[in-house]
Amino acid sequence: MNQYKKIADELSRLGGTIQVVTDLDILETYAKDETSDLSAMPDILVRAETAQDVSLVLGYCNANNVPVIPRGAGTGVTGGAVPVMGGVVLSLEKMNRIIEIDRENMVAVAEPGAITRDIQEAAREQGLMYPPDPASLDSCSIGGNVAENAGGPRAVRYGTTKDYVLGLEFVLADGSIITTGGKIVKNATGYSLLGILIGSEGTLSVITKIFLRLVPAPPVAIDMLIPFPSIQDAADAVQAILIGKIIPATLEFMERDAIAMVSAHLGRETPFPDAGAHLLIQVDGNDDQAVLDSLERIARIAGVDPEAMLIAQSAAQRERLWKARRSIRESITVESPVFLAEDCVVPRSKIPAFLTELKAYLETRGLRSVMFGHAGDGNVHIDVLKGGMEYETWKAALPDLKREIYRRAIALGGTITGEHGIGFIRKDYLGLACSDAEIELFRRIKKAFDPKGILNPGKIF
C-alpha cells in the first residue's frame, strides 16, 4: 500500500471532526500560495475544526515522522504554506470563528482561520479598531498574520501584528495544547513565548486561538494623495513630516513605474500620472478640525501647494485612491506572471539611496522593476519582472539578483524582509542577515518546540 494511503486511512480513524482529503484535484489547489512560480503537491490535506483535531493530527504525525505544513488562507508570498517536501497540509480554514469581541477589556478572541477584515469589522461595530491592515486583509487569516508577523500601511503609527497579540493557544508537535497570555495587557510571567511564536512561520507550533488587543476606533480619517517629482523628494517629505511630530496613520509611496503599471491595469489614469512618486497619506483623529489641521501642517512641512494634492472627500474617492495602491501586485501579475517580490526594510532616511541605486543597477541588467510600499517605516516592496526573459536565464540569474538586493539593504543598516518572512524562497539567504550564533539559537529553539522537525520542514533555515 502507498505510504500516504496508509497514513490517510490512519488519520481518518483518529476521531474528532478531522476531514481527510486525498482527491488530487483538491490537493492541487493547496499546492500553491501567492508566491510567484512556486508549487508542490501535498500528499494529504487535513482540515481541522478544533484545537483537539489539531492535537490529534500532530500527535499522530509526530509519532510517525510525517511532515505537517500549517496553512491559513494561502496568501503568503514566500512559500510558507507550500509543502515543498511533501507531507500533510493542515488547513485551519474551517476554524474561522470570531469567538468574542470583549468591549469591556478591548480584546478580540478569534480562531486562526478568521479573516482579518472580518475581525476589523466586528471590532468596528463596537467602536473599536484592530489596526494591522495587510493589503491582503480581505482574504488572509489572522493565524497566518500571527505566523508571519504581518504588517501593513498602518504600521507607521500603529505597529504590526506583534503589537496586538496578547495571548495564544497553540499546539506543539507532540500534540500538547498550551495557552500563553490571554485577555491581559501586561504579563511578566516567565519567558515571553509570544515573542518567539509570532513570526515563526508555522515551524514551531500550530496556533489555534488568538487574543488580540483592540484600540478605540478614531472617528475621523482623511486620505490624501501628494505628487512629488522624485522618490528623493517624497522621502524628504516623509522625514520632514515625522520629524515635525506628525505621525499619520499611513505614509505609503508608489514610484513612477508602479503608478504607470496600475493605471494601465485599471484602465484609468491615476491622478498626477506624470509624478516621479506619490505619497498616499491617511491622517486619523478624534474630530474633523484636528485632522484637517494635521493635513494642512503636512502640506506646509512637505512644502506642497495644497492645490497640488488630492484630498479624498468621500468614501468612493478614498476607495479609488486605495484601490490603486492595493492593485499593484495584481497589475504586476498580469504584466509578468513570473516576478521576484522583495520586501526589504531599511532605515527610513536610506529609502532614496536604496531604491534609486537599486533601480539603476536593475536597469543595467535589463530588468524592469516596480517599487512601492511603506515609506513611513522603511519597508519597501521591490518587484522585479521576468518579462520576456527566457525562463532558464531568469532562474539562473535569481540567486545573484536576490543576494545583491539583500546585500544593499543590509549595507544600509536594513534587513532582508520587513513583513513577508523568510519562508522557502529566502531561506538560503538568512545567513546574510543573521550571524551563525543567532541561527544556531534559532535551531535550538526549533528543537525545543519540535524535536523531530515535523513542522513545516524546509522553511526559514
Ligand X SMILES: Cc1cc2nc3c(=O)[nH]c(=O)nc-3n(C[C@H](O)[C@H](O)[C@H](O)COP(=O)(O)OP(=O)(O)OC[C@H]3O[C@@H](n4cnc5c(N)ncnc54)[C@H](O)[C@@H]3O)c2cc1C
- Report how far apart, in Å, the C-alpha atoms of 399 and of each of 297, 328, 352, 353 are: 45, 24, 24, 23
Grid coordinates belonging to 332: 504586476
> Under rule CB under 6 A, how many of the chain's residues touch ligand X?
36
Angle subtended by helix axes 328-335 and 256-266, to nearest 10: 80
Among 459, 396, 394, 397, smallest CA distance to 430 is for 459
**Residue closest to ligand X when measured from CB atoms:** 144
**Residue choice 329, 350, 368, 426 for contact with ligand X (CB under 6 A):** 329
| Cα–Cα distance measured from residue 189 to residue 167, given in angstroms and rounded to the nearest whole number | 12
**Beta carbons of 392 and 351 less than 8 angstroms apart:** no
Q: Give me the 154-183 binding string for ligand X, x by CB under 6 A, dash otherwise.
A: ------------------------------
136 binds ligand X (CB under 6 A): yes
Contact residues for 52 (Cβ-Cβ < 8 A; gap 6+): 16, 177
| Cα–Cα distance measured from residue 61 to residue 341, given in angstroms and rounded to the nearest whole number | 33
CB of 115 to ligand X, least distance (A): 8
141 binds ligand X (CB under 6 A): yes
112 binds ligand X (CB under 6 A): yes
Residues 9-38 that bind ligand X (CB under 6 A): 33-34
Grid coordinates belonging to 36: 510567484
Q: Which is nearer to ligand X, 106 or 137 (CB)?
A: 137
Q: Which stretch binds ligand X (CB under 6 A): 140-148, 223-231, 244-252, 297-305?
A: 140-148
369 binds ligand X (CB under 6 A): no
**Beta carbons of 443 and 190 less than 8 angstroms apart:** no
**Beta carbons of 309 and 227 less than 8 angstroms apart:** yes
Q: Which stretch binds ligand X (CB under 6 A): 40-48, 67-75, 362-370, 429-437?
A: 67-75
Q: Which is nearer to ligand X, 209 or 278 (CB)?
A: 209
Q: What share of the chain is helix, strand, coil (3-state, %, to 5)?
A: 40, 20, 40
CB of 69 to ligand X, least distance (A): 6
Residues 371-430 that bind ligand X (CB under 6 A): 419-420
| Cα–Cα distance measured from residue 82 to residue 320, given in angstroms and rounded to the nearest whole number | 33
450 binds ligand X (CB under 6 A): no
Q: Give me the 68-97 binding string for ligand X, x by CB under 6 A, dash otherwise.
A: -xxxxxxxxx--xx----------x-----
Residues forming contacts to ligand X in the complex (CB under 6 A) are: 33-34, 69-77, 80-81, 92, 112, 134-136, 140-141, 143-145, 147-148, 150-152, 201-202, 206-207, 329, 419-420, 456
